[in-house]
Amino acid sequence: MSVNHETEKYNLDDAPFNKVQRCAVQLMKNDLRLFFTLLCYQKISTPSYYVALMPYMGLIVDGIEDWVNAYSNSSKHKLNLPTFTDEEEKYYSEMRKSIKLFEKGYINLNRILYENYTKSDMYFSSLCKPIAKHLRLYDIYGVFYCDSVPCDNTVLAQIVTPFFSYDKTDEEKTVEMAKIGGEYISCFNATEPYKIISDFNFTTKDYCGFVKSPFGNKYNYKFLLFTILCQINFIVYSVDKFIVDETSTKLRFAYILYYYLLSLLPDIKENLKFSIIMDNKYYSDDFRNAMAHYKLGVSLKENDIIDTDPLFGLTQKLFGEDYHTVKNNIISELNKAGKQIQKIIKLAY
pLDDT attached to residue 169: 61
pLDDT attached to residue 45: 75
For residue 2, being part of any structural domain is answered with no
For residue 36, being part of any structural domain is answered with yes
pLDDT attached to residue 170: 64
Phi and psi torsions of 208, nearest 5°:
95, -10
For residue 6, being part of any structural domain is answered with no
pLDDT attached to residue 10: 59
Q: Please tell me the total count of domains within the chain.
A: 1
Nearest alpha carbon to residue 331 among 265, 256, 264: 256
If you average pLDDT over every residue of the chain, what do you get? 92
Q: What is the pLDDT of residues 58-98, one digit of tens each?
A: 999 999 999 999 999 998 888 989 999 999 999 999 999 99
pLDDT attached to residue 7: 42
- Residue range(s) defining the domain that contains residue 329: 12-344
For residue 180, being part of any structural domain is answered with yes
For residue 349, being part of any structural domain is answered with no
For residue 7, being part of any structural domain is answered with no
For residue 261, being part of any structural domain is answered with yes
Pair type for strands 141-146 and 149-153: antiparallel
Please determine, for residue 181, whether its predicted confidence score (pLDDT) is greater than 60.
Answer: yes
pLDDT attached to residue 298: 87
For residue 229, being part of any structural domain is answered with yes
